[in-house]
């Protein structure tokens, strides 16, 4: 496995490989890798001749400077995990390498980046689009792999690829969960033992909500989910939205959309966790 920190040698290596008519899979990450990331890498290894993993904590997608400072970083163990998962290349650039000049591009994704995460983290998805488009331009992958835990991010990246005619196939991959149901996240490592014990209530309630959907109205289910999670004093729901899985527009009745998803953000002390469930 090769590790690159700058663009030119990485591009030269990938161009030589691409010239042999080999496919390149790409898994962009912010590091602090866990089994969810590994599942993405392994999926690329199964389908592509060469798998590139980027490890870069993107400052442009953090609207809270304290959140950026707290974000976990484990570069040495990340490299070991990438190698064990079968990655061929790891790209670990500095901020100066990715942004030699400030990236002032503004993306417009309509409603997709205005609701849910976009509403509570203004500018977040513009930063995501900046870094993902930059990485796509550097790596030029045939396929890129993203987890469905970040459901809204996935929808926006698909839209970006369509809007800007990017020549890359986006592969959604299922959310990977801990044995107690908690969606795997690098932020889970920041939880105290007490918070970690409470956090699985999020997925537990979401799964129960899916079972209740046939007997409850949308409004009733929205209220039930929020109230049920907020009963734990360590958890505070920031939002829970039930939306059209394609447009991300809120629905008012189950017949409003063929595919429906419930997306949630919960503050667990200073740690913010997201999850979703398909109805």
Q: Which residues are catalytic?
A: 37
Could you give the C-alpha distances from 140 to 2, 23, 103, 125, 193, in angstroms and in order? Answer: 17, 10, 19, 21, 41
Distance CA 167, CA 199 (A): 39
Distance CA 4, CA 13 (A): 10
Say how many C-beta atoms besides its own lie within 10 A of residue 77's C-beta. Answer: 11
The distance from CA 120 to its chain's CA centroid, rounded to whole angstroms, is 16
What pairs with residue 91 in β-bridges?
Answer: 4, 54
Where does residue 37 rank: exposed (0-12), middle (13-18), buried (19+ CB within 10 A)? buried
């Amino acid at each position: 496995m090769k590790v690159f920190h700058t663009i030119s040698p990485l591009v030269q290596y990938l161009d030589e490989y691409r010239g042999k008519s080999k496919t390149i899979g790409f898994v962009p990450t912010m590091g602090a890798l866990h089994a969810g990331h590994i599942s993405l890498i392994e999926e690329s290894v199964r389908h592509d001749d060469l798998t590139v993993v980027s490890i870069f904590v993107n400052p442009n997608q953090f609207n809270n400077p304290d959140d950026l400072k707290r974000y976990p970083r484990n570069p040495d163990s990340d490299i070991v995990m990438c190698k064990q998962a079968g990655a061929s290349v790891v790209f670990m650039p500095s901020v100066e390498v990715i942004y030699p000049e400030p990236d002032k591009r503004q993306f417009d994704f309509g409603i997709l980046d205005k609701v849910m995460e976009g509403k509570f983290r203004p500018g977040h998805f513009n930063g995501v689009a900046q870094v993902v488009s930059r990485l796509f331009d550097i790596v030029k992958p045939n396929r890129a792999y993203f987890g469905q835990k970040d459901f809204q991010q996935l929808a926006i990246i698909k839209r970006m690829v369509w809007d800007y005619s990017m020549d890359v196939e986006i592969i959604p991959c299922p959310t990977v969960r801990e044995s107690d149901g908690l969606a795997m996240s690098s932020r889970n490592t920041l939880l105290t033992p007490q918070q970690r014990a409470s956090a699985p209530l999020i997925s537990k309630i979401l799964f129960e909500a899916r079972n209740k959907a046939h007997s409850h109205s949308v409004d009733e289910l929205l209220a039930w989910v929020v109230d049920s999670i907020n009963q734990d004093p360590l958890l505070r729901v920031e939002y829970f939205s039930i939306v059209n899985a394609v447009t991300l527009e809120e629905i008012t009745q189950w017949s409003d959309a063929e595919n429906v998803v419930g997306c949630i953000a919960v503050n667990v002390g200073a740690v913010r966790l997201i999850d979703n469930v398909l109805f």
